[in-house]
Structure formats: structure tokens, C-alpha cells
Amino acid sequence: MQLLQDRIRKDGIVKAGNVLKVDNFLNHQVDIDLLNEMGKEFYRLFGDLPINKILTIEASGIAIASITAQYFHVPVVFAKKAQSINLDGESYTAKIESFTHKRVYDVIVSKKYLSPEDHILIIDDFLANGKALEGLIGIINAAGATVEGIGIAIEKGFQNGGAEIRARGLRLESLAIVDKMDCETGEITFRT
Amino acid sequence: MQLLQDRIRKDGIVKAGNVLKVDNFLNHQVDIDLLNEMGKEFYRLFGDLPINKILTIEASGIAIASITAQYFHVPVVFAKKAQSINLDGESYTAKIESFTHKRVYDVIVSKKYLSPEDHILIIDDFLANGKALEGLIGIINAAGATVEGIGIAIEKGFQNGGAEIRARGLRLESLAIVDKMDCETGEITFRT
């Protein structure tokens, strides 16, 4: 998606350790007009599927998922990050290893909000090693629901998460795939 | 706002300890059509003010703030909850005591995204004792920015946060104010 690539080039900051900061428009300050264009694009890509719910993960996925949901006219469920879980059997849980924060955390989704009848579009801001996505897919599988598609804003194509998900036959669309980035020059190369 | 009150009556669950669960439509599963009506109402209430930015706090404020921002055509900034803060001087911070989780956490906003030129509408899902709101107001004051208004989805009118904020002369509008709720009968009384 050219608009997003242009914005990443303009406002994204490449930092050492393969970090791409998009705080300016995506996950701290949020450009809602840009998100609307991204939501429309997700609808163009996935609008033919029988999606009845969007699943994302707090916190930075919520804005994109909510704006996108308007085009699909479906509710959003966001998986919650939990420090300590009450294992009351009322939630699906997954353990996720965070690349950014170098720690393992739990995410939970109440069993009330996922069922075998659900056809889910997963929406998230970033895909790198795919650990968060694996957690969400695991939760959807545990609920007996169907993963219809996965829409990502920015994929780090030089990490293996995207390739692994595609190899499993899941329909994954990333609006911008970064194949290379250089923290010395700030140069970003997108997959075309 | 009648639509929201009706929905709280229908799907809200009153629990012991003055807990009102609205997981079904507001802060775990999110009804985006309802949020759009709430966003329009916030615009009706605050649209006359020179608002150029909406500030909220992760995670559950993000959906409402993002949908609302579409009516104001302004960006959203969400304060991040931090376990441990890098005190690098690049962020405004506040300590917030959580009613729900019975602990103190830090919230941060990058100095890049708040300035003395900013006229802020704060949006959040709940107002009870007002600690989160005090934190956000403190951050806005530290930045030298202006609090134009505060829009809340659900205020617990039997706790003191709302009264304190209004006593300071700040413009606070809550779409539903719960004056009383009974965890035995499930009955909810709204301020009219």
C-alpha cells in the first residue's frame, strides 16, 4: 500500500536492533485518516470472506482493528495482556514472547466472545517473528473458530513470522513489507 | 445518552465491589456501531471547541477515542501503561492507582506528541475515582497544553471522581452516569 509505505519512509525511524519506530502515526500518536485508508484496503483484500468478527491484541492493534471493523460491520474483540491470570476456565489463554520487551506474557480472550461459529479476521499493527500472531491463532483454534484471514499493517519481511504463517496456508496480507532497513542511513527497502 | 444506557441495562453486569462489567460491548468485545453513535455524541457535545488532538489511555480507551477522532478529524495520542520507565527525559509521566487492579502503575506520553499549542479532548471509557483522569490532566499540564474537555462513556456517579473534576471548572461530559447499582438484583439507576 503506497500511502503507508510513503508514510513509513517519511515518519518511521529505524533504530539499532531491527527496531522500526512508527510512534508518530501508528502506535502512540495515531493518524486516524491514514487508518481509514488502511481499513478500506483491508476490506478490499478480505471483503469477499464470511468474516463476522475481528480479533486483535491490546494495545496498539485496537485502533486499526476498530477503524477497520467499520468497513466490515462486525464487532472487534481484543485479546488482553495479563500479568497474572485467574485460571477460572472462562478464558482462552496463550503465552507470547515479546520481541520488543524481551519477556513472556499471557494474553487472554473470554470464552464468551469466541465460538465455533466465528469466522475471524485477525488485525495487528506489526508482524515480525510472529509470536503474537501464533498466540492469537492458537486461541482461535482452541475456540473451534475459523481464521479467515490475517491483516497486518507492517511486516518485517526479514524476520520469519510471515513466511511461516504463509507456509501454513493461511491468508496473510501485509500492507507494507519491509525487506531491509538500515539504522545508519535510515534507508528502508519495501517488498514490491 | 439513551442508546448507551439501554445497552448497559441490557448487557452490563453488576458485580460485588461496585464493579460494572461491560466486556460485552465496550472493553473486551467492542460494538463499533455503538461507538460511532458515541463518537457523534461527543462531537455534538464538544464540536464547538478548538480541539486539535484527542488523548486517551491504553487499552480500553483506544477504540472509543479512535472512532470519536473521525468526527473531529484530529489525531489520537494514547498514554501508555509502563511497567518500568526509562527515565530518559523524553516522556511525560504520571503515577496512577488502579481501582480495578489494586496497584500503582506509570503512564507515559512522549514529549513529541504534546506541546503548549495543543488543545486536548480527553476520552476514556470509565470514570470512577478519577485517578486515571488526574494522571492524564497532570501530563497535559506538564506539557503546557490545554484541556478543552473530557468525554467519558460511563461515569460511576456514586464515586467522587466526576464531582472533583467538575468542581475544578473542567468541562466534563459523561454519556451515562450510574448513580446506583445493585449487585443482588442487577438494577442500575442512571442520573437523568
Distance, in Å, from the CA atom of B39 to the CA atom of A70, rounded to the nearest integer, reads 13
Mutate to test the interface with B, among A37, A78, A113 (most CBs of B within 10 A): A78
A33 touches chain B (CB under 8 A): yes
Which residues have C-beta within 8 Å of that of residue A84, sequence separation ≥ 6? Answer: none
Q: Residue B188's pLDDT band (boundaries 50, 70, 90)?
A: very high
Q: What is the nearest CA distance from B70 to chain A, expressed in angstroms?
A: 7
Asked whether residue B92 is domain-assigned, the answer is: no
CB contact (8 A) between residue B23 and residue A58: no
Contacting residues of B for A110, CB less than 8 Å apart: 23, 28-29
> H/E/C letters for each residue in B122-142?
EEEEEECCCHHHHHHHHHHHH
The enclosing H or E element of A151 equals strand A146-156
pTM of the entire structure? 0.95
Distance, in Å, from the CA atom of A42 to the CA atom of A151, rounded to the nearest integer, reads 7
- What is the grid cell recorded at A13? 525511524
Contacting residues of A for B25, CB less than 8 Å apart: 75
Contact, B147 vs B120, CB < 8 A?
yes
Residue B66 neighbours by CB distance under 10 Å: 28
pLDDT tens for B136-150 read 999 999 999 999 999
| pLDDT value of residue A100 | 66
B10 touches chain A (CB under 8 A): no
3-state secondary structure at position B119: strand
pLDDT tens for A94-111 read 999 876 667 888 999 999
| pLDDT value of residue A98 | 77
> What pairs with residue A138 in β-bridges?
none
Mutate to test the interface with B, among A30, A60, A80, A88 (most CBs of B within 10 A): A30
| pLDDT value of residue B99 | 66
- What is the grid cell recorded at A43? 476490506
CA-wise closest residue to B129 among B161, B95, B177: B161
Least confident of A96-105, B124-133, B162-171: A96-105
Length, in residues, of chain A? 192
| pLDDT value of residue B86 | 54
Q: What is the nearest CA distance from A52 to chain B, expressed in angstroms?
A: 12
Asked whether residue B97 is domain-assigned, the answer is: no
Range of the domain at A72: 2-190
**CB-based burial, B99-136: b 16+ in 10 Å, e otherwise:** beeeeeebbbbbeebbeeebbbbbbbbbbbbbbbbbbb
For chain B, the domain total comes to 1
B137 touches chain A (CB under 8 A): no
Task: Using the predicted structure, report yes or no on whether residue A84 has a pLDDT greater than 60.
Answer: no
Distance, in Å, from the CA atom of A46 to the CA atom of A40, rounded to the nearest integer, reads 10
CB contacts < 8 A, A to B, total 102
Across chain A, mean pLDDT equals: 94
Q: Of the candidates B30, B67, B73, which has its C-beta nearest A75's C-beta? A: B30
- CATH number, residue A79: 3.40.50.2020
The enclosing H or E element of B38 equals helix B32-46
Q: Residue B102's pLDDT band (boundaries 50, 70, 90)?
A: confident
Across chain B, mean pLDDT equals: 94
